[in-house]
Chain A
Amino acid sequence: MSHQSETCPVPSDQKPGQVLKDQSTYDQLLKMVLHLQWLVKKHFIQLEVTRRRQQLEGEKHAESICEQGNYLNLLMSKMVNVLRSGATSGLECQEYLPCLDSRDDVRSEQRAELSRQPDPLVPQLSDFEPAFVSHDLSNRGADISVLYHSSFQDYIAYQGDKFHEENNPLGFINLGTSENKLCIDLMIKRLSENDMNHIEDFLLQYPDWRGQPFLREEVAQFLTYYCRAPAQLDPENVVVLNGCCSVFSALAMVLCDPGEGFLVPTPVYGGFAFSSRLYAHVELIPVHLESEITEANTCPFQLTVDKLEQVLLEAKSKGKKVKGLILTNPQNPLGDIYSRDSLKEYLTFAKRYNLHVIIDEIYLLSVFDESITFHSVLSIKSLPDPNRTHMIWGTSKDFGISGFRFGVLYTHNKDVASAVGSFGYLHSISGIDQHKLSKLLHSREWIDSRYLPTNRSRLRDAHRYITKKLKELKIPFLYRGAGLYIWINLKKYLDPCTFEEEVLLLRRFRDNKLILSCGKAYMCKEPGWFRLVFAENSFRLRLAMRRFCQVLQEQKQSWIEKQLEESVKE
């Protein structure tokens, strides 16, 4: 979600060497057109808002506004494209050059971007990305492409240039993507055992799209046990799809109509914003939490019912239709865990306003501090509103197999289960894998006595190392005992403390082949927060921290230089 400004895919028909004569004119023109473009966009949004207020008006009229808007958009984008090809083309390609000194260019790019983004906190669907025009894609197709590439640019860079001890020691180390790489040895061993490799006719045939019954059975038993459910969970309430993002996407489709919204306490995992925009076109309404400790805020980023209620009422007064509340527990990126009481409070609040609660417990088994008791929503005896409570879990994080593509929905609501089941064939899992997953979940003995203890102790070790390192560097962070990541505050390295500077620092990390994720990607209200994933093997983690320190040093250095320059000027 972080920084769309960085992406300017060069259209395929544009020859890179094709620089036109008078660049400055083009630059000026480009600026003007960008501004015009922004004005037009604003105008149409205004029109749309007015239209929605006066719902009485015929649909026809709205369609035509839309048509006009899209047409203008297209024309405008074409113009921008032509101009871009003539304007200084340095802007587009710089991001792949390891230029540590890209600050000025980036700044100007940032400024242009900012003028187009009224609210830097909420990731905008960059439906207006001027440089990306394809006659072959629909508008939403182009949007999807741009959104994806701006959101996952670091990830894409990492995929193309991964660190490897021998083959690519200068490659990227990724502490930005939340993946558990500590137990891959155990998983490989388990997945190579004989019971995993089993082929049967029916596994190769069309499945039950909600998931093979044997797998849903296994999931129900697994969750009953590990979530400490008061009663046996029902396999009929289980839907399995290829990943939690698919589950969330399908849920958003069936719970909301386009334009409706979910409340979400922030900072929060950016994938929700991405998923809700991509297919479902559901709005996330942030409940911004604050790091500062006050009377009402007994711990940093505390979620309270008051805050939820306030945002809800505000949204309602603006005419927004709020359909639900998204909670992640253990929280990502904070690593917080909700107590049973607060969980109940949130659920009761939701019931009071007839809100669905989507509760993502994908880090359920990644609580490595043994003094903490995690309370799954499924462990609550009498849920305030069981028909509106939907739980998501998957194996990606807890078993460190994100490449496996497995996500689970558990809901008491049969209508929701069957509606989500309709999406099964678009998000299905291979029968061969369904077999493997059921065997994996079934091996209680291995999980309890081998996998979980090892995983927890390795997470603890990595966490101990990283916290020690951060303390040495005097970097504030949240000390928590769950998740694969740590939420750190690099505010003091930003001058001024803005989101632009945050992105610049992120880029500086990337230039040094270290991928992190910044607070803006989590819709954090305060600039300067970063999430650092520590579930990486110790060699890489140590190397990553060396790169990390180096960047901060450089950052400090350039700050000092800037100070000097300014004092000289004065």
Chain B
Amino acid sequence: FPQKESGAPATCMGPASTQDLNSSYGDGMAGECSRKPDQKLPELRGMGDLTMFSSDSSYLSSRGRMIKWFWDSAEEGYRTYHMDEYDEDKNPSGIINLGTSENKLCFDLLSERLSQQDMQWVEPSLLQYPDWRGHLFLREEVAKFLSFYCKSPAPLKPENVVVLNGCASLFSALATVLCEAGEAFLIPTPYYGAITQHVYLYGHVRLAYVYLDSEVTGTDTRPFQLTVEKLEMALQEANSKGVKVKGLILINPQNPLGDIYSPGELQEYLVFAKRHELHVIVDEVYMLSVFEDSVGYRSVLSLEGLPDPQRTHVMWATSKDFGMSGLRFGTLYTENQDVATAVASLCRYHGLSGLVQHQMAQLLRDRDWINQVYLPGNHARLKAACAYVSEELRALRIPFLSRGAGFFIWADLRKYLRKATFEEEMLLWRRFLHNKVLLSFGKAFECKEPGWFRFVFSDKAQRLRLGMQRVRQVLEGDAQMAEDPPPWQTQEPSDQCR
């Protein structure tokens, strides 16, 4: 049969749920904070005709030009930050990055652990072609690790584990094997914007948004609350536009809200998904970064009797919980062998080295170190850092959400926008950047309301203090800045580069 994707990838989703793919360059470097508002992908129906926006290279295919666009459009935040990174000694006036969600609080603990003798093991099998699902010794370790930390009712099985080089790859692979090109996943917004790119680049899979509101009304007992009604509505809307929805993506603990779903809520969403035969991808990459014990986080793997285990796929990685985004280790847990096998079939392209697999197995196995050294240390530091930024925001009378999970606070800066538009949001973001502090703005998370920003607090106290000081300067001097002609435009980094 002809392959579906051999035609134009276009599926019209209509303006409401159309993404402008305006989110970000991945959580790496640039963070979710970098794209110019005018640099938009065309609406999906325009996808066939790329000449209108894409780079002009005659050497690239049309999808190549589109892909390059992802790269180029990320450059503003990315380049600006990288040309001028803060360094205590060498560049004290450089940019402080509170935009990228990385845990920089525990390098001392990690580098000590990773430098120990057991990590340096090299043997032939580690240097040769592996089982593409991941070496068995590692998958066994992952299964034990997840059984313990997710509190699964029964031991998890190594054959349900697939290991690859990070969750980005995992999103890409899952999108490819679960959806045809042009089909979609539901995702509640605001959400970690890089997923857009993850599922699109290879998979040509779309996201259909479930927009959440900050306002607390009758049924919504807390801001940005996800309900089954909203899921139903979004699904219907997508269907009515002819978009085939194949699944639902849940991030728990949530990024950027820092919120977690209760077991009851989770169960409801899963039942909803089962009713519509949707896959559920649960991204639990912040699972061990819940630093308030009272929160009572529950992994989906801890639920007794999943409504639809064959369509429930869990992902986890060491990037966040072990603060090693540069290590590139992610894992899938699914009871569905077809899905595991199909994802593994793609792992030739998303493999990680045998040496790293060995190191990861050693790390995950070291329950004593994790329980007695790493987690207590990490949680205490996250708690202190979160408390500091919260205090600062309170002093500025800025409303924010923070529930004791993740590396970030979701702050409401709407009162600092002259008009409630995303252009204004972008202007405010530029003012922060100009004052040498990089944040992420709400549009990058597809937040419906302009004016929300994500503050990453998992950084060293000294940088955090300086960063918050710069934020304060911008917000307090805001009125004055707005009147002057904006001097930073002359130093627009993207202008310098091009």
The answer to the question of A402 belonging to the interface, with a C-beta cut-off of 8 Å to chain B, is yes
**Chain A 136-164 against B: per-residue CB contact (8 Å), 1 yes, 0 no?**
11111110110111000001000100000
The residue that B341 contacts in the complex, of A145, A179, A403, A413, with Cβ under 8 A, is: A145
The residue that B354 contacts in the complex, of A70, A144, A404, with Cβ under 8 A, is: A404
**What are 30 residue pairs bridging A and B, where the CB atoms are less than 8 Å apart in the complex?**
A41-B1, A63-B7, A66-B4, A70-B1, A136-B336, A136-B338, A140-B5, A148-B345, A184-B127, A184-B128, A192-B122, A197-B115, A197-B119, A203-B326, A204-B110, A204-B323, A207-B28, A243-B351, A254-B67, A255-B61, A258-B5, A258-B6, A258-B7, A281-B5, A387-B59, A401-B127, A403-B127, A405-B352, A423-B201, A428-B328
The number of A-B residue pairs with CB atoms under 8 Å apart is: 300
Q: Please name the residue on chain A nearest to B78 by beta carbon.
A: A208
**Is A137 a contact of B339 with CB atoms below 8 Å?**
yes
B:338-352 near A, CB below 8 Å? 338-339, 341-342, 344-346, 348-352
A:186-212 near B, CB below 8 Å? 187-188, 191-192, 196-197, 199-209
The residue that B342 contacts in the complex, of A141, A187, A192, A422, with Cβ under 8 A, is: A141
Q: State which of B161-169, B375-383, B400-408 sits at the interface with chain A.
A: B161-169
Residues of B within 8 A of A406 (CB): 353
**Is B127 a contact of A70 with CB atoms below 8 Å?**
no
Residues of B within 8 A of A421 (CB): 71
CA distance A207 to B355 in the complex (A): 19
**Is A388 a contact of B348 with CB atoms below 8 Å?**
no
The answer to the question of A418 belonging to the interface, with a C-beta cut-off of 8 Å to chain B, is yes
Indicate the member of A63, A140, A209 with the most B CB atoms within 10 Å: A140
**Is A12 a contact of B338 with CB atoms below 8 Å?**
yes
**Is B3 a contact of A415 with CB atoms below 8 Å?**
no
Which residues of A are in contact with B by a Cβ distance under 8 Å?
9, 12, 41, 44-45, 48, 59, 62-63, 65-66, 69-70, 73, 125, 127-128, 134, 136-142, 144-145, 147-149, 155, 159, 177, 179, 181, 184, 187-188, 191-192, 196-197, 199-209, 242-243, 245-246, 249, 253-260, 275, 278-279, 281, 323, 356, 387-388, 400-406, 413, 415-416, 418-419, 421-423, 425-433, 436
**Is A184 a contact of B352 with CB atoms below 8 Å?**
no
Interface residues on B, range: 35 or more
Known: A140-B177, A258-B3. A245 touches B59 (CB 8 A): no
Known: A136-B311, A201-B107, A419-B68. A179 touches B2 (CB 8 A): no
Other contacts beyond A144-B345, A401-B128, A426-B201: 19, CB < 8 A: A45-B1, A138-B178, A208-B82, A209-B29, A243-B351, A249-B349, A253-B202, A254-B68, A279-B346, A402-B128, A404-B127, A404-B354, A423-B201, A426-B349, A429-B165, A431-B328, A432-B359, A433-B353, A436-B355
Residues of A within 8 A of B71 (CB): 418-419, 421-422
**Is A159 a contact of B131 with CB atoms below 8 Å?**
yes
**Is A66 a contact of B67 with CB atoms below 8 Å?**
no
**Is A140 a contact of B180 with CB atoms below 8 Å?**
yes
**Is A426 a contact of B128 with CB atoms below 8 Å?**
no
**Is A427 a contact of B165 with CB atoms below 8 Å?**
yes
Residues of B within 8 A of A181 (CB): 124, 128
**Is B7 a contact of A388 with CB atoms below 8 Å?**
no
B:13-69 near A, CB below 8 Å? 26-29, 48, 55, 57, 59-65, 67-68
**Is A323 a contact of B61 with CB atoms below 8 Å?**
yes
Known: A418-B68, A419-B71. A404 touches B120 (CB 8 A): no
Residues of A within 8 A of B417 (CB): none
Known: A128-B1, A141-B342, A254-B60. A427 touches B6 (CB 8 A): no
Residues of A within 8 A of B114 (CB): 199, 432
Q: How far does the Cβ of B59 sit from chain A's closest Cβ, in whole Å?
A: 5
CA distance A459 to B268 in the complex (A): 62
Q: Please name the residue on chain B nearest to A49 by beta carbon.
A: B2
CA distance A334 to B70 in the complex (A): 39
Q: How far does the Cβ of B212 sit from chain A's closest Cβ, in whole Å?
A: 27
CA distance A261 to B29 in the complex (A): 35
**Is B326 a contact of A137 with CB atoms below 8 Å?**
no
**Is B28 a contact of A209 with CB atoms below 8 Å?**
yes
**Is B28 a contact of A197 with CB atoms below 8 Å?**
no
Residues of A within 8 A of B328 (CB): 428-431
Residues of B within 8 A of A249 (CB): 349
CA distance A144 to B350 in the complex (A): 14
The answer to the question of B484 belonging to the interface, with a C-beta cut-off of 8 Å to chain A, is no
Q: How far does the Cβ of B153 sit from chain A's closest Cβ, in whole Å?
A: 22
The answer to the question of B279 belonging to the interface, with a C-beta cut-off of 8 Å to chain A, is yes
Q: How far does the Cβ of B113 sit from chain A's closest Cβ, in whole Å?
A: 9
**Is A356 a contact of B59 with CB atoms below 8 Å?**
yes
Residues of A within 8 A of B179 (CB): 138
Residues of A within 8 A of B110 (CB): 199, 204
Indicate the member of A147, A187, A323, A428 with the most B CB atoms within 10 Å: A428
CA distance A245 to B350 in the complex (A): 10
The residue that B166 contacts in the complex, of A63, A197, A425, with Cβ under 8 A, is: A425
The answer to the question of B104 belonging to the interface, with a C-beta cut-off of 8 Å to chain A, is yes
CA distance A433 to B177 in the complex (A): 29
**Is A432 a contact of B102 with CB atoms below 8 Å?**
no
Known: A138-B179, A426-B169. A179 touches B5 (CB 8 A): no
